[in-house]
Amino acid sequence: MVWVLLTKSVADRRTLTGVLGLLLIVMGAFVGALWPPMRDTFADLSSGLMDDILRALPGADMTTGAGWANAELMSMVAPAAIITVAVVSAARATAGEEEAKTLGMLLSAPVSRLMFLSVKTAAMTIHVLIVGAFLAVGLMVGNLIGNLGLTPAGILGATAHTVLLGIFFGMVAILIGAATGNGRLTTAGTGTLAGIAFVMSAILPLSNTLAEGAKASPWYYFNASNPLVNGFDPQHLAILAGASVVLASLAMVIFRARDLRG
């Protein structure tokens, strides 16, 4: 029963994961194709302007191929795609089943609440990993087309940081869905939190006084170490993973205790 539930949950989001994955490959190809004709233009950017851009978007040095890829793909497009699939999958996992009145039927089978939520969480993680794999392919395609100077370590590092950012916000959605059973609130609430966190990570570093506050945002641990150039940052990955585990644990406790609808 657990295997059936997992395969069904993964298959339910196959269209979304496929579309977003193909989008990332196409975007990677465009980024690579546009870099050669744009290289000379960005070489003339003033150092002051570039410093401001880098403080808001770490790694987005558009005078280099890797910086161009960071600015055009990794700063917003890739994380937005992975967060989208994570949140949609997570919102359907609990709140969607309650609203569709299918939760009672599923839990009447020999599956406990904790096992049910664990399976749904695993399905969300699989969806994120699938789109992450497409992202890695997109970066490789862009690198081949535009000679961006990306390394295998950088591609894998950027993919890992993006995947864990997506899983973090997926866990936020799992928690909200487990606590409320409201699909719209889950989606809107998680999206709002992701947007606020992004603004924090982009705006606070512009102030010397407030720059340290950016560390309260998960986006800081996604891009502050410039993983597309430097590869994995174990400490930042551990923080994202640890926070995700805490959120998942809270969701389990709340889901187990709450009166469920449907």
Q: Is residue 21 part of a domain?
A: yes
The confidence band for 258, taking pLDDT boundaries of 50, 70 and 90, is confident
Structure tokens of 65? 């191929």
The confidence band for 4, taking pLDDT boundaries of 50, 70 and 90, is confident
Burial (Cβ within 10 Å: 0-12, 13-18, ≥19) of residue 65: buried
The whole-number pLDDT of residue 249 equals: 95
Instruction: Choose between 158 and 100: higher pLDDT.
Output: 158
Nearest to 90 by CA among 169, 11, 24, 8: 169
The confidence band for 103, taking pLDDT boundaries of 50, 70 and 90, is low
Mean pLDDT comparison of 11-15, 90-94, 166-170, 183-187, highest-scoring range: 166-170
Q: Which domain holds residue 96?
A: 2-257
The confidence band for 168, taking pLDDT boundaries of 50, 70 and 90, is very high
Which residue in the block uniquely carries the two structure tokens 């174990």?
234
Beta-carbon contacts of residue 249 (< 8 Å; ≥ 6 apart): none
What would the mean pLDDT of 20-34 be, rounded to a whole number?
Answer: 95
Mean pLDDT comparison of 51-55, 98-102, 215-219, highest-scoring range: 215-219
73 pLDDT more than 60:
yes
The confidence band for 42, taking pLDDT boundaries of 50, 70 and 90, is low
Which residue in the block uniquely carries the two structure tokens 């989606």?
187
Q: Is residue 26 part of a domain?
A: yes
10 pLDDT more than 80:
yes
- Give the phi and the psi of residue 181 in degrees, each rounded to 5: 70, 15
| CA 11 – CA 43 distance, rounded (Å) | 46
What would the mean pLDDT of 207-218 be, rounded to a whole number?
Answer: 87
Nearest to 84 by CA among 23, 141, 26: 23
* Vertex 222 angle, CA 246 and 45, to 5°: 160
- Asked if residues 262 and 100 have their Cβ atoms less than 8 Å apart, the reply is yes
Q: Is residue 159 part of a domain?
A: yes
258: left (phi over 0), alpha (psi -120 to 50) or beta: beta
Q: How many domains does the chain have?
A: 1
209 pLDDT more than 60:
yes
Q: Is residue 262 part of a domain?
A: no
What would the mean pLDDT of 223-235 be, rounded to a whole number?
Answer: 93
Q: Is residue 14 part of a domain?
A: yes
What residue type is 67 in one-letter code? Answer: G
| SS3 (DSSP) at 87 | helix
Instruction: Choose between 114 and 105: higher pLDDT.
Output: 114
- Mean pLDDT score across all residues of the chain: 86
| CA 137 – CA 115 distance, rounded (Å) | 33
49 pLDDT more than 60:
no
The whole-number pLDDT of residue 78 equals: 95
41 pLDDT more than 80:
no
Instruction: Choose between 40 and 169: higher pLDDT.
Output: 169
What would the mean pLDDT of 138-158 be, rounded to a whole number?
Answer: 95
* Vertex 93 angle, CA 17 and 129, to 5°: 35
What would the mean pLDDT of 240-245 be, rounded to a whole number?
Answer: 97
